[in-house]
Structure 1
Amino acid sequence: MDFEADCLIVGGGPAGLTAAIYLARYRRSVLVVDEAKSRCAWIPTSHNLAGFTGGISGTDLLQRIRAQAVLYGARIETASVTALERQPSGTGYRALLDDRRAVEAATVLLATGVIDGQPRMPYLYEAMQRGLIRVCPICDAFEVIDRRIAVLGHAGQAVGEARFIRGYSPAVTLLTLGEPMTLTLEERQGLDADGIAVVEDPVVAVGMDEDRSARVTLQGGRILVFDTLYSALGISARSALAGRIGAEMDVDGRLIVDRHQRSSVPGFYAAGDVVSTLNQIAVAMGEAAMAATAIHNDLRRQRPSS
C-alpha cells in the first residue's frame, strides 16, 4: 500500500485544503489528492472574502491555505483519483491514483467542486483575469457598478443573473449562445419591467478589444461591445467518484449531505461547490470545518482510543 490515511481528501481547493488544516490539527493523518484544477485559481481578485480588505487573488489564496495545511502535517499530492471503492469489510475505502499508486483511507472527503460553462473564445483565462469575462455576480457585481454588462445564457439561470445584476447597473443585456432564448412570458415581462434588453440573435464569437472591452459578434453580423460579460451557461458538478459508490445526488449531480456534510454513504463526506450549496469560498471553508470535525468525531466513536 502506497498511502494509508484517516482521511483521503479529493480536491485541493479552498474546501479541501481547509479541511486538511482542521484534520491535521485534530492529529489525523491526511492525504489531499489535487489535480491542480481549482475553480478558485481563475479568480483575479476576490474582494468579498473577509479579512482581505485589498482583495486577494485565487492563486495567492490557494498557496496560503496549502502552505498552512502542510505546516500542520497534511500530505498533498498532485494526481487524479481514477478509481474509488469501499473496502469489502464495509469500513474504509480504497482509491487508485492515475500513476497506479494505491490509497487506503478510513474516510473520504469529496471537495472536487464544479466546472463553469464558458463561451469558446481565445485567451479565455486572460479575459477573466482582466474582468471581461465573469461567472459570479454574487462575488463581484460590486466591481462593475454602472458598467455595460451582458449576461450570456438562454434560460432561467441567465434570467435570474440578469435581474440580480440589474441592481448594480442600468445597462444590462441578456444574450444567447447557440440555443434559442427559452423564456416564459412571465420571465420576459420581468425582464422588460427591469429594463433589461433581450437580444434573440445568437452570439457566434466573443473576443477582446484593444480598449479592454468584450466584443460580441452576433449571427446576423451585428457587433456589440460591453465592459463585462457574465457567463450563465450552467455548471457541471465534478461528482463522478461519488456516483461510483452510490452517493445520493440532486438532479444537477451535486451531493446531498446532512448538516455535518455526511453523504448517504457511510464514511463519505462532501464540502464546497460539489455540494448543493451557495458557490462561495467562505461557504466552502465553513463546510470544510464542519466536515473535518464530523470526520474526527465519527472516527473517535468508531475507534475510541484514537
Structure 2
Amino acid sequence: MGGGRVDVVVIGGGPAGLTAGIYLGRFLRSVVVLDAGNSRARYIPASHNCPGFPHGIAGEELLERLREQAEEFGATLVRARADGLEQVAGGFEVAAGGTSWRASKVILATGLADRLPDEPWAEEAIACGALRLCAVCDAFEARDGRVALMGPAAGLAGHARFLRGYTAQLAAIPTDRNLELDEVDGMRALGVEVFAHGGTMGFDGRRCRWRAADGRVSAFDTVYPYLGYEGRNALVADWGLEAGEEGELKVDRYQQTARPGLYAIGDVVSGLNQISVAVGQAAIAATHAHNSLPFVPRT
C-alpha cells in the first residue's frame, strides 16, 4: 500500500476529500486520499442540484468521476479506513490498514453518518427515492407528492415548515412522543396532518407505508426520516477540539482547526450538508495548506 512521507494526507473519499485531492495534485503536492468507501454521496440516486449536471448525476457516478480526476492530477487514492492519527514532530502520522504516512498537513473529510430507520429495507428505499435524507437536496423532486417527515417531536415543526413549501400533502410522524396540543395546532395551521406516536413504517418495494397503532395504513410517495446523525470525528475525539452537539468540528476561515496544520471540511464541519459547500471548503483548505507548505521552485 506504500506509506512514507507526503505533503498532505486527506482522510475521507467523498466529494470534499476528493476535491481536496484534485486541488493538491494540481498544486504539485504529494497527497494521499484515504477512502473507506462510506461517503454519504453513495446513497444519492440522482443529484439535481450539483452544479454542472442539469439532468442529474448518481452519487456513485459522481464519486467515480472525482476519483478519476484526482488520480489524473497525481493524487494517490488508497481504499482504507484511517485507524490512527497522531501529532508528531513536523506534522502528523496517519495509520490505515497496517500502513502509515508522515504528513505536514492533514485534511479531515470524514463526513457524518445518518441515523436511518432500523429496517433491512432502508437502503433499498433510499435507492428508489421512497426514503430521502436531505430536503434541501431533493424536495424539488418530491414536490406535490404525498410526503411524510418522521423524527423526534421537538424538531418536526422546522422541517415541516420547509417541506410545506413543496407540497400540500404533508404529514408529521413523531418517533419519541405525541405532539403537545400547541404543537399540533401549529402543524395544523400549516396544513400538516399529524400522526400519533406509535406505529411502524414498512416498505413495499415502491413506497413507504405507515401502520398506525390502531391498524390504519397510510402510503407515502416520499418519507424524510429526521433521526439525526453522528459526526465521524473519532480520530480526534480526545484532542480537545471544539465541536457542536452532533460532533461537527469548529474551524477558522481557512477550514483549519485549533491544531495548526489540521483541517476539516465537508459534513464533519458544515451545518449545511451540501456537495457544493463541501467542494468550496475543500478548495479553501487545500489552497491554504499549499500556501503554508515550503515553497518548491520548479526545476
Q: TM-score, normalised by structure 1?
A: 0.92
Q: Cα distance 1:158–1:117, how it changes in 2: closer, same or farther (>3 A)?
A: farther
C-alpha offsets along residues 131-159 of structure 1, whole Å, 9 cap, x if unaligned? 10001111111111111000011234332
Q: Does 1:252 align with 2:246?
A: yes
Partner of 1:134, secondary structure, is coil
Task: Please state how far the C-alpha of 1:3 moved relative to its aligned partner.
Answer: 2.8
- Other-structure match for 2:259: 265
- Other-structure match for 2:151: 153
Moved more, 218-227 or 18-27: 218-227
Percent identical pairs in the alignment equals: 42
Code of the aligned partner of 2:91? G
Q: Does 1:134 align with 2:135?
A: no
Moved more, 256-265 or 191-200: 191-200
Aligned-partner Cα distance in 2 for 1:28–1:305:
9
Code of the aligned partner of 1:146? D
- Other-structure match for 2:195: 199
Partner of 2:266, secondary structure, is coil
Of residues 98, 103, 108, the one that matches 1:110 is 108
**8 Å contact kept, 1:201–1:220:** no
**8 Å contact kept, 1:10–1:108:** yes
Aligned-partner Cα distance in 1 for 2:29–2:201:
50
- Other-structure match for 1:180: 177
Aligned-partner Cα distance in 2 for 1:51–1:184:
46
- Other-structure match for 1:4: 5
Aligned-partner Cα distance in 2 for 1:203–1:279:
30
- Other-structure match for 2:290: 296
**8 Å contact kept, 2:201–2:208:** no
**8 Å contact kept, 1:261–1:291:** yes
Code of the aligned partner of 2:164? R
Q: Does 1:240 align with 2:240?
A: no
C-alpha offsets along residues 208-237 of structure 1, whole Å, 9 cap, x if unaligned? 25xx22112233333221111111111111
**8 Å contact kept, 1:206–1:214:** yes
**8 Å contact kept, 2:112–2:231:** yes
Task: Please state how far the C-alpha of 1:123 moved relative to its aligned partner.
Answer: 2.5
Code of the aligned partner of 2:249? L
Q: Cα distance 1:214–1:227, how it changes in 2: closer, same or farther (>3 A)?
A: same
Code of the aligned partner of 2:239? I
Aligned-partner Cα distance in 1 for 2:36–2:4:
17
Partner of 1:5, secondary structure, is strand
Gaps of 5+ in 1: none
**8 Å contact kept, 2:148–2:220:** yes
Task: Please state how far the C-alpha of 1:63 moved relative to its aligned partner.
Answer: 0.3
**8 Å contact kept, 1:11–1:32:** yes
**8 Å contact kept, 2:161–2:190:** yes
Partner of 1:292, secondary structure, is helix
**8 Å contact kept, 1:173–1:199:** yes
Aligned-partner Cα distance in 2 for 1:156–1:132:
24
Aligned-partner Cα distance in 2 for 1:159–1:135:
17
Gaps of 5+ in 2: none
Partner of 1:215, secondary structure, is strand
**8 Å contact kept, 1:152–1:175:** yes
Code of the aligned partner of 2:75? A
C-alpha offsets along residues 100-126 of structure 1, whole Å, 9 cap, x if unaligned? 111111111000111111112233222
Paired residues in the alignment total 296
User: Matches of residues 5-24 of structure 1 in structure 2 within 5 Å?
Assistant: 5-24=6-25
Task: Please state how far the C-alpha of 1:73 moved relative to its aligned partner.
Answer: 0.5
Aligned-partner Cα distance in 1 for 2:145–2:87:
52
Aligned-partner Cα distance in 2 for 1:23–1:203:
50
- Other-structure match for 2:44: 43
**8 Å contact kept, 2:156–2:174:** no
Give me the CA root mean square deviation.
1.7
